[in-house]
Amino acid sequence: MSMHRWAKEYTIIEEINTGGSDRQFYRCVKDKKNYILVKDKDIRNYLKLQKHLERRGIGVPQIYEIDEKKHTILMEDLGEESLYALVRKKKRNILRLYRMAIRELIKIQVDAYPRVPVNVYYDHEHISWEQDYFRTFFLHQFCGIPEKKLNILDSDFRQLARTLLEEAKRMTTFLMHRDYQSQNIFIKNGRIRIIDFQSARVGPLTYDLAALLKDAYVHISKKWERILVDYYLYCLKKKGVQIKKNAFLNVYHLSGLQRNMQALGAFAYLSLKKKKNHFRQHIPRGLQLLQSGLKNAPFQHLSKIVNDVVGRFY
């Protein structure tokens, strides 16, 4: 990074832990003000979506300078107060912050959907990809379960995908952030700000809410989850989108299974392939959420394998 033309103007303070991303992030300073320097091979698509979301009033980081030839941008530093950090510090008014995050999520889903520059969908292909990701990296490679033993999951996975797509038909034409969890949500100057939206898709309302409330990074109580789901439906109704609660909850719980499997697959992949071993600490909570979600679900083979795996961690 020292060869970049901005290096003469901005002093790099630190490289930022990028979580699961392959992009490079650096905190830098100029005239006592902090900025974030980002190096991203797919910077053009990121900028298209950032501009669209900004125009729609979504709290994305501001962009100050762009160098597309070097796949680099200089953008706003959102600081250290992520929702994750504030929950971990047990700050007061966390429930209020979650309500703020829900209002911002609905703005993304509803307000930012028209003319969004996204042409990828949360469809059967992507659902199957999430399931294979979980099976390959978490169950097979991380947990060491033989592939032949995992073939028994095929029928459950097909049923889950089919049921989810069928029951979500009336709530699929919305914009998905696709990773709307506590580490990607910041609070700056009393406002929700979001990052890592570059994997956005068109899909069901329920997936992002499940990512927020069934989050392996933090613990949300069942009581809070119920309160916040009701709040989400209330805010959605105010936007003119009315969905029967029982129908919504069915899809929400199925989306939660998908989300938790995807997260566990990611934790395993990042630990094994990217040597980012700190992700291992989140696996027990992710497993707990998946096991809980499977209790009353009709996926017996998946439930049995998950119960067996849970026994290794507790």
Work out the mean pLDDT of the chain and round it to a whole number. 94
| Residues 148 and 132 occupy one common structural domain | yes
| Residues 128 and 261 occupy one common structural domain | yes
At residue 90, the pLDDT reads 84
- Sorted by sequence, the CB contacts under 8 Å of residue 17 that are 6+ apart come out as none
- Sign of torsion, CA 105 110 113 115? negative
| Residues 195 and 216 occupy one common structural domain | yes
* Triad 243, 248, 250: Cα angle to 5°: 155
The residue out of 76, 99, 116 marking a domain boundary is 76
Q: How confident is the model at residue 223 (pLDDT cuts 50, 70, 90)?
A: very high
Q: Is the pLDDT of residue 311 over 90?
A: no
Q: Is the pLDDT of residue 248 over 80?
A: yes
pTM to 2 decimal places: 0.94
| Residues 159 and 285 occupy one common structural domain | yes
Q: How confident is the model at residue 170 (pLDDT cuts 50, 70, 90)?
A: confident
Q: What's the CATH number where 41 sits?
A: 3.30.200.20
At residue 3, the pLDDT reads 47
| Sequence-ordered alpha helix ranges (H) in the chain | 43-55, 83-88, 94-106, 124-133, 147-150, 154-167, 206-213, 222-238, 245-272, 283-294, 300-313
| Residues 213 and 292 occupy one common structural domain | yes
Q: Is the pLDDT of residue 134 over 60?
A: yes
Q: Is the pLDDT of residue 80 over 50?
A: yes
Q: 41 or 97: which carries more pLDDT confidence?
A: 97
Residues 239-264 have a mean pLDDT of 97
Q: Is the pLDDT of residue 78 over 90?
A: yes
Residue 40's domain spans which residues? 5-76
At residue 227, the pLDDT reads 98
> How many domains does the structure of the chain reveal?
2
Residues 244-271 have a mean pLDDT of 97
| Residues 94 and 71 occupy one common structural domain | no
131, 150 Cβ separation under 8 angstroms = no
| Residues 216 and 233 occupy one common structural domain | yes
Q: Is the pLDDT of residue 8 over 90?
A: no
| Residues 158 and 16 occupy one common structural domain | no
Neighbours of 163 (CB within 10 A): 16
Q: Is the pLDDT of residue 2 over 80?
A: no
**What share of the chain in percent tops pLDDT 70?**
96
Closest CA to 216 of 174, 270, 166: 270
| Residues 202 and 230 occupy one common structural domain | yes
Residues 21-44 have a mean pLDDT of 90
| Residues 187 and 62 occupy one common structural domain | no
At residue 314, the pLDDT reads 65
